[in-house]
Structure 1
Amino acid sequence: MITVGVLGATGAVGQRFVQLLADHPWFDLGVLTASERSAGKKYRDAVNWRLDVPFPEGAGEIVVSPTTAAAVKDCDIVFSALPADVAGKTELEVAAAGVGVCSNASSHRMDPDVPLVIPEVNADHLGLIDVQHDRGRDGFIVTNPNCSTIMLTLALAPLQPLGFSGVQVATMQAISGAGFQGIAGMEIFDNVVPFIKNEEEKMETEPRKIMGTFDGAAVEPASFSVSACCNRVPVIDGHTLSVWLDMDRSLEEIRRAFEEYVAPFSGLPTQPAKSVEYLKQPDRPQPRLDRNRGNGMTVSVGRLREGPRFTALGHNTIRGAAGASVLNAELIYKEKYL
């Protein structure tokens, strides 16, 4: 078994990590960290469990540690659910201590030697781990993209062989993406907030790195452009995207690419049977009906029509956050980077 830990285990994404790792077939959850006010308590006493799944009793007895490199020195991999302003320094310290970091934070996503990975799309970018080692880092950092970036890029993956020059996307993002305390009820109820700090910038840069070309030393970004408008809407879980493409292909070619898409990996415990699922109903996908497909790891696409344009949807705290990091760690283990 691979010993793993979670940095920032009491927050929204941290709780998802604990849920997904508590009974994982490959990983043994041994260390949980949080703020100083939680350190020293058993996890069951430190956390206010808010997920719509039962509390994982096996994790409840773990004593929470402070968030330091020393706390996780005996782990093979740690999963970072830290806020970006804390993650940057802490993740570097953990990686320098010889531990692998699978991070959901944005701090290092665009670092030239840090892979920004969606296993079904750019598994070869894990080669940047070797670049990090060559530069003297004992451990490594691997990041997963922004939640909406993951939905967009996975939806684009079946279409990449067809070619496209530009992407326009408008998002309708769930409030859980802002964390448990991230947005006040009076601000979002009966409302749409047409601004999410730094979200559009992430969506306009991250897909080009993910779908870029790795030459063994660096990633050359893909040549297509992305223009994004991001909105917060009163939905609990599930980010919905309206996507327009600049491409010269028929709707039938695009539909066939979606329907025939088969993800290039199998045997990873967290990977769903269908990473991308095309829905034929004219009013789908919808968050309440479709966010939990593939245990929350499937991205649903539908409403394909002239433009070409379509709608995509995914669970933002599972596929878009904790589940994405766990899937990355499974691939790292399978590819023998530990």
Structure 2
Amino acid sequence: MAKAVRFHETGGPEVLRYETVEVGEPGPGQVRLRHEAVGLNFADTYFRSGLYPVPLPAGMGVEAAGVVEAVGPDVAHVAAGDRVTYTGFLNTLGAYSTERLIPAAALIKLPDAIACETAAGMTMRGLTAAYLLRRIHDFKPGQSVLLHAAAGGVGLIVSQWAKLLGLTVIGTVSNARKGEVARQHGCEHVIDYSREDVAKRVRELTDGIGVDVVFDSVGKDTFEGSLDSLKRRGLMVCVGTASGPIAPFNPQILAMKGSLYLTRPALADYIADPAEKNALANELFAHVATGRIQIELNQRYALEDAVQAHRDLESRKTTGSSVFVI
């Protein structure tokens, strides 16, 4: 029998349960997938806590990689034996499992050069980095970016990719150890937000001008400082809320701080079109396969240790990517 991590009520990590589940055979448009590795993402905690409400009981996780075991009717682009990866939102919820049924449309074929474990640690993070750098803004060499959580899974990929594009990355971290990790992956400047005023330091590093774009995955705690770090007509990208949701605010503040732009994008809207998803994935895979971008798998867990994994993630003990190895 297959195993899965599920939750029957919302709350802290303790609500996660490791259970036996029955998978069954794939129906029209579905495949049965055997996982080799599953990604651990901060977004998982939003489902578990109820910030992203779903009918209960529910599965956990939206990213994994493995091998197609069987295909249902009307499935043409993958076949039994194919190595695949996936990420998504509600359509892929339930990734914390040894086997599952999943819509075939969500699957991306893996090139031979990329292992399933690597894919599970990079598909969501890598595609997020891809749309942030290749779709959100028309970046030009020499432009600057403030990147919060620079030593995290998304941060390390964004930093490396931004350097390939000729951008200057200023990264924020919570301690010296994470600062060194961020520097090793492309951050030209690192700010320890536990000791420094981020906006003030950004102004010092940019000769008082500010950065072109802020990628802010923290939310409530960093929102105001992020706005104050932008140059006139700069772009604020709210890409996550790790510290909590941003409080309501008067849009007039954007005018007062320099006619700023603000967006709150979601990965699902940038991979909804299969052609665009494949284009972003292919660009990501090419960088990883050639070594231009390194994927740091710094934490590995057994699936039955999901409670501890969530505790480590939320206490900011992790760097790079975390995966469950099946």
TM > 0.5 fold call: no
Relative to its length, the structure with more strand (as a share) is 2
TM-score by length of 2: 0.32
TM-score by length of 1: 0.31
